[in-house]
């Protein structure tokens, strides 16, 4: 079975600084990988996804992520964060079988300093 690890529970960065959120996965085949963002009390919004092809994926709101098979990682990056980026970020991995369910990491809470 697949699993997702987000090693950082909380991350604090200053507004305007760069950001990298870490995600490692465990899956036997080529995974489908996702990053979602959740504001308090809200549903999830897809930032970006990787299925195949170019390992550097561009998403919404200026986010990007890079799939590194050798490191089993799919880290999320943003060159300059805004105060509105403060939220919970979830990395997820999808199974490529009949059910195609996706499993979420525990999340990383991003705090932005003014």
Partner 1 sequence: GAVVSQHPSWVICKSGTSVKIECRSLDFQATTMFWYRQFPKQSLMLMATSNEGSKATYEQGVEKDKFLINHASLTLSTLTVTSAHPEDSSFYICSARDGGTYGYTFGSGTRLTVV
Chain residues in the site for partner 1 (CB under 8 A): 32, 34, 36, 41-46, 49, 51, 90, 94, 99-107, 109
**Residue 54 or 99 with smaller CB distance to partner 1:** 99
Q: How far is the CB of 23 from partner 1 (least distance, A)?
A: 12
**Long-range interactions of 41-46: CB distance < 8 A, separation 24+:** 44/90
Helices (H) and strands (E) in the chain, counts: 0, 12
Cα 3 to chain centroid, rounded: 14
**Residue 51 or 83 with smaller CB distance to partner 1:** 51
Q: How far is the CB of 34 from partner 1 (least distance, A)?
A: 7
**Residue 3 or 14 with smaller CB distance to partner 1:** 3
At 8, list the tokens. Answer: 């950082």
């Amino acid at each position: 079975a697949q699993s997702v690890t987000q090693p950082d529970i909380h991350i604090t960065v200053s507004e305007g600084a760069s950001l990298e959120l870490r995600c490692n996965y465990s899956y036997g085949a080529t995974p489908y990988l996702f990053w979602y963002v959740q504001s308090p009390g809200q549903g999830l919004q897809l930032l970006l996804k990787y299925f195949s092809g170019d390992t550097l994926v561009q998403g919404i709101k200026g986010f990007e992520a890079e799939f590194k098979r050798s490191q089993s990682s799919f880290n999320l990056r943003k060159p300059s964060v805004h105060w509105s980026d403060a939220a919970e970020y979830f990395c997820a991995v999808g199974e490529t079988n009949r059910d195609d369910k996706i499993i979420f990491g525990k999340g990383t809470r991003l705090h932005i300093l003014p």
